[in-house]
């Protein structure tokens, strides 16, 4: 199947500048293509992942992806998708973010010869102000720039000249990559259409109208309830495991709505149409098993993190579901209990009744004694019904944690001081 046909089947194409021409080009040769990310932060989130998943599909189909880390464009700010002016970052912060994003991209795409990661600071920083105005500014009509959605949407609230020129810089990127690396296709989110077409216009003015250059955008992804994909009550879902743990990442995908899961299997996995059809059938006939969600969670967690991260996430999930938390490692506890209520504990042993009251897990000694006697309290997975039981924090989990459970599902993580 041609890569363009595959993307169509996956409902992954929003707009293309010339779909028939692009299909023909990708059938003829290994195509150079690119997508960029600006270093506005030190990690991508799963919303950023969408166009790069498409880039990965091109890579697997034998084409040559170029990833631009936008050290140049990121230093001025992309107005796309923003209704206010971005706050400029220090160049020190931009360079720090560049390094972090480069490491993420290397992990996702590997280090083989069929992938190139470049930084547009390397060429944009060499353009003088006069060269910028004479060589590029003359080729951009202000009326046309104002008509682009990315600028038009900001005219009421205002846009600085700095952000206004962003589409020129991104256009220079496309021209540079085509001249020096034969890159003929740019991929981006739906909000990048104006920037992409501006780049193609610049290429045609500089290199001739018959120059083959193409643009492709990915649809804006919405959930079945109409809300934006990728947001949770806790905020964005990050690819950096220190911001979103692999367990949290896995759980995000596992908890997807039945109405969305097949769409996400198409977008975020490399399963075939036959395999996805089987999971679609399971959603329709046995939704309670959540087989589609489990496979989605495994595939994406393995792609972004590792096979070991999948095993660890599933181990944590099983332990929390069964209550057998004693089987967890200290590292797994840090992941699985990251967002659960926590209490501070002294390192010294303490009577269970006193501990439950002192940490305010129980409102009174009477209530604590009643819950213990009734078997409602578990310490590190073990039911405790002895009112004289002494909790020794040093006994389990490297002396760092005590897991306290009241009832069937209410957990607290005791963090040991000292």
Catalytic (active site) residue 231: yes
CB proximity list for 282: less than 8 A, separation 6 or greater: 289, 291, 292
Task: Compute the distance between CA of residue 190 and CA of residue 219 in angstroms, rounded to an integer.
Answer: 6
Catalytic (active site) residue 40: yes
| Catalytic site residue from 59, 104, 167, 170 | 170
Q: Which helix (H) or strand (E) holds 258?
A: helix 258-268
| Catalytic site residue from 23, 107, 162, 191 | 191
Task: Compute the distance between CA of residue 14 and CA of residue 20 in angstroms, rounded to an integer.
Answer: 15
| Catalytic site residue from 23, 45, 57, 243 | 45
The β-bridge partners of 186 are: 34, 215
Tokens of 248: 């949290």
| Catalytic site residue from 48, 263, 266, 405 | 48
Catalytic (active site) residue 45: yes
Judged by phi (left if over 0) then psi (alpha if -120 to 50, else beta), residue 43 lies in beta
Catalytic (active site) residue 191: yes
Catalytic (active site) residue 232: yes
Q: Which residues of 352-363 are buried (b: 16+ CB within 10 A; e: fewer)?
A: bbebbbebebbe
| Catalytic site residue from 40, 89, 93, 280 | 40
Catalytic (active site) residue 86: yes
Burial class (CB in 10 A: 0-12, 13-18, 19+), 131: exposed
Q: Could you give the residue ranges of the DSSP H alpha helices within 271-400?
A: 273-285, 291-304, 307-322, 330-336, 352-358, 365-373
Task: Compute the distance between CA of residue 159 and CA of residue 116 in angstroms, rounded to an integer.
Answer: 33
| Catalytic site residue from 107, 181, 231, 406 | 231
- For residue 220, what is the DSSP state? P
Catalytic (active site) residue 15: no
Strands (E), 61-178: 64-69, 116-119
| Catalytic site residue from 82, 107, 326, 400 | 82
| Catalytic site residue from 29, 134, 204, 228 | 228
| Catalytic site residue from 86, 148, 181, 223 | 86
Q: Which residues are catalytic?
A: 40, 45, 48, 82, 86, 170, 191, 228, 231-232
């Amino acid at each position: 199947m041609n890569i363009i046909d595959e993307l169509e089947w996956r409902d992954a194409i929003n707009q293309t500048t010339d779909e028939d021409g692009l299909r023909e080009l990708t059938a003829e040769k290994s195509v150079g293509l690119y997508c960029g990310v600006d270093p506005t932060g030190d990690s991508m989130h799963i919303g950023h992942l969408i166009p790069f998943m498409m880039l990965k599909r091109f890579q697997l189909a034998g084409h040559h992806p170029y990833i631009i880390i936008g050290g140049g464009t990121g230093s001025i700010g992309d107005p796309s998708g923003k209704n206010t002016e971005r706050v400029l970052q220090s160049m020190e912060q931009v360079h720090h973010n560049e390094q972090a994003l480069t490491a993420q991209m290397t992990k996702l795409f590997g280090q083989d010869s069929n992938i190139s990661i470049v930084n547009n600071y390397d060429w944009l920083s060499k353009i003088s102000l006069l060269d910028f105005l004479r060589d590029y500014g003359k080729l951009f009509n202000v009326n046309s720039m104002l008509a682009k959605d990315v600028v038009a949407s900001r005219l009421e609230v205002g846009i600085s000249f700095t952000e206004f020129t962003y589409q020129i810089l991104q256009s220079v990127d496309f021209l540079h990559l085509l001249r020096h690396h034969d890159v003929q296709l740019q991929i981006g989110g739906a909000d990048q259409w104006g920037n992409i077409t501006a780049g193609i216009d610049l290429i045609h003015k500089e290199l001739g109208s018959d120059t083959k250059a193409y643009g492709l955008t990915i649809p804006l992804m919405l959930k079945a309830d109409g809300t934006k994909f990728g947001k949770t009550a806790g905020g964005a879902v990050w690819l950096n495991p220190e911001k979103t743990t692999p367990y949290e990442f896995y759980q995000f995908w596992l908890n997807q709505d039945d109405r969305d899961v097949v769409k996400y299997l198409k977008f975020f996995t490399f399963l075939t149409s036959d395999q996805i059809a089987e999971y679609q059938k399971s959603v329709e006939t046995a939704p309670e098993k959540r087989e589609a969600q489990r496979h989605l969670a495994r595939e994406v967690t393995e792609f972004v993190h590792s096979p070991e991260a999948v095993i660890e996430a599933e181990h944590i999930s099983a332990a929390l579901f069964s209550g057998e938390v004693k089987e967890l490692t200290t590292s797994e506890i840090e992941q699985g209990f990251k967002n659960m209520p926590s209490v501070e504990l002294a390192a010294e042993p303490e009577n269970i009744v006193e501990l439950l009251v002192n940490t305010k897990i129980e409102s009174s000694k009477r209530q604590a004694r009643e819950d213990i006697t009734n078997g409602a309290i578990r310490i590190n997975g073990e039911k405790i019904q002895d009112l004289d039981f002494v909790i020794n924090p040093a006994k389990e989990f490297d002396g760092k944690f005590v897991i306290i459970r009241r009832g069937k599902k209410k957990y607290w993580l005791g963090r040991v001081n000292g």
